[in-house]
Amino acid sequence: ASCGALRSFLFEYDTPRIVLIRSRKVGLVNRAVQLAILAYVIGWVFLWEKGYQETDSVVSSVTTKVKGVVLTNTSTLGARIWDVADYVIPPQGENTVFVMTNAILTLNQRQDHCPELPDDKTVCEHDGDCTSGYVGTHSNGIQTGKCVPYNSSVKTCEVFAWCPVENDEHIPKPAFLREAENFTILVKNNIWYPKFNFSKRNILPSISKTYLKNCIYDPRTDPFCPIFRLGKIVQAAGQNFQEMAVEGGVMALQIKWDCNLDRDASLCVPKYSFRRLDNKDPAHTVSPGYNFRFAKYYKDSNGTESRTLVKAYGIRFDIIVFGKAGKFDVIPTMINIGSGLALLGVATVLCDIVVLYCMKKRYYYREKKYKYVEDYEL
């Protein structure tokens, strides 16, 4: 009996055991990690990102209408009125509208033989310098093989082309239609969120016909007016309209629809912003701006065809619509709650990692947290 009692005493007091040492610092770290996870789940996931909502992306359609008239008086054209049919090309585009602000006009062109513009490949001294049938990358027509006077001092190769050929070396400065900054553009935007069957347009129910005829968009006084003055659009993007009008450019009119459909539908309103899309870098001035050519054709009483060639410089306005809508749904709510609870379970693991591998007394905590035992055969 005495031997059994001694053996029991030695086993109870001499055998090493696994011992968990509780520390105030360890508890503080554990609570800090748990609070950080709770703040992330509640503050970021649910309040900021609205993790309790189902979301949908916007489906949009855009139509535009430009208004404005300008008078020009030049030696070539004389006094002339320019209206929407002259400077909006084409009349309707898909989410875009081009307004001509500058132009190089070549009047009364006919298909004929005439001298080509002088350059390093067209300047000649005699017919042998020209190749019949040659067409270069920048040619205005097909060479005939003849060398003819371009002016009193220069000869160039003759071409069969629309004559006289266009000379676009000098761009008009200031811009031909510099008063285009006073033109206005009406943007009509209809949006639809198919998942929630919710639709709306940027002409809000509170906007009356009288207000629409007189308002101009202003971010402070008229933030929901859908009529924009072109000069103010360019100015809001930090650009100078008169400089941009000379060689043209590309502007973005952005409409953002972020709607919380758990609230009243009247609070779902558009927000407008503007920026320049084409790169304006003073260090890279090769082929700047935006331009293209088009022609207007005519026939006289004799059936002779002629045309006016227009190299149009201007500003293309791209209307970009984006946004999302959210509405409460049980499924994403339960998923995010479950994810939050799972993260709380990770708090203990993160706490152990911090205590055992990052703190200065990590070796002390490791020794106190674990004690290793050997197996004894009784």
In a domain, 150, yes or no: no
Domain annotation covers residue 110: yes
Beta bridge partner(s), residue 86: none
User: Are 214 and 284 members of one domain?
Assistant: yes
Token pair, residue 96, equals 């875009």
| Domain co-membership, 194 together with 77 | yes
Q: For residue range 24-58, what is the model confidence (pLDDT) as tens digits? A: 655 666 677 677 777 777 777 777 777 777 889 99
Q: Residue 298 falls within a domain, yes or no?
A: yes
Residue 19 lies in a domain: yes
CA distance 124 to 154: 8
Does residue 338 belong to any structural domain of this protein? yes
The answer to whether residues 269 and 364 belong to one domain is: no
CA dist 246 and 102 (Å) reads 6
Same domain, 262 and 362: no
The answer to whether 160 and 113 have CB atoms below 8 angstroms apart is yes
Q: Is residue 189 a contact partner of residue 201, using CB atoms and an 8 Å limit?
A: yes
Tell whether pTM > 0.75. Answer: yes
Please check whether residues 65 and 46 belong to one and the same domain.
no
Residues 307, 224 within the same domain: yes
Residue 126 maps to a domain:
no
Q: What is the CATH number of the domain that holds 357?
A: 1.10.287.940
Give the integer Cα–Cα distance in Å for 62 and 67.
Answer: 17
Q: Quick one: pLDDT at residue 70? A: 92
Q: Over the stretch 76-122, which tens digit does the pLDDT of each residue have?
A: 888 999 999 999 998 888 889 999 999 999 999 999 999 999 988 89
* Within-domain flag for 154: no
Determine the average pLDDT of the residues in 351-361: 72
CATH number, domain of 107, equals 2.60.490.10
The answer to whether residue 134 scores a pLDDT higher than 60 is yes
Which of these ranges, 138-152, 241-255, 349-363, has the smallest mean pLDDT? 349-363
Check: CB of residue 368 under 8 Å from CB of residue 21: yes
On whether residue 377 sits in a domain, the answer given is no
**Partners of 294 in the beta sheet?**
310
Asked if 88 contacts 98 with a C-beta cutoff of 8 angstroms, the reply is yes
Same domain, 224 and 101: yes
Strand residues in 132-183 grouped as ranges (E): 141-149, 155-163
Residues 323 and 333 in one domain: no
Residue 155, pLDDT above cutoff 70: yes
Our count of domains for the chain comes to: 2
Contact in structure between 228 and 187 (CB atoms under 8 Å): yes
What is the pLDDT at residue 49?
72
pLDDT of residue 341: 74
Both 335 and 236 in one domain: the answer is no
Annotated binding site: 65-67, 184, 291-293, 311
Angle between helices 24-39 and 330-357 (to 10 degrees): 150
Asked if residue 293 and residue 281 are part of one domain, the reply reads yes
Assign 252 a pLDDT band (cuts: 50, 70, 90). Answer: very high
Q: Residues within the annotated binding site for ATP?
A: 65-67, 184, 291-293, 311
Residues 268-284, mean pLDDT to the nearest whole number: 86
* 302 plus 266 within the same structural domain: yes
Domain that holds residue 346: 1-52+329-369
Q: Are residues 213 and 341 in the same domain?
A: no
Q: What is the 3-state secondary structure (H, E, C) of the chain?
A: CHHHHHHHHHHHHHCCCCCCCCCHHHHHHHHHHHHHHHHHHHHHHHHHCCCCEEEEECEEEEEEEEECCEEEEECCCEEEEECHHHHECCCCCCCEEEEEEEEEEEEEEEEEEEECCCCCCCECCCHHHCCCCCCCCCCCEEEEEEEEECCCCCEEEEEEEEECCCCCCCCCCCCCCHHHHHCEEEEEEEEEECCCCEEEECCCCCCCHHHHHHCCCECCCECCCCEEEHHHHHHHCCCCHHHHHHHCEEEEEEEEEEEECCCCHHHCCCEEEEEECCCCECCECCCCCCEEEEEEEEECCCCCEEEEEEEEEEEEEEEEEEEEEEEECHHHHHHHHHHHHHHHHHHHHHHHHHHHHCCCCHHHHHHHHCCCCCCCCC
Cα–Cα distance, 204 to 270 (Å, whole number):
9
Torsion, CA 11, CA 15, CA 20, CA 24, rounded to 10: 100
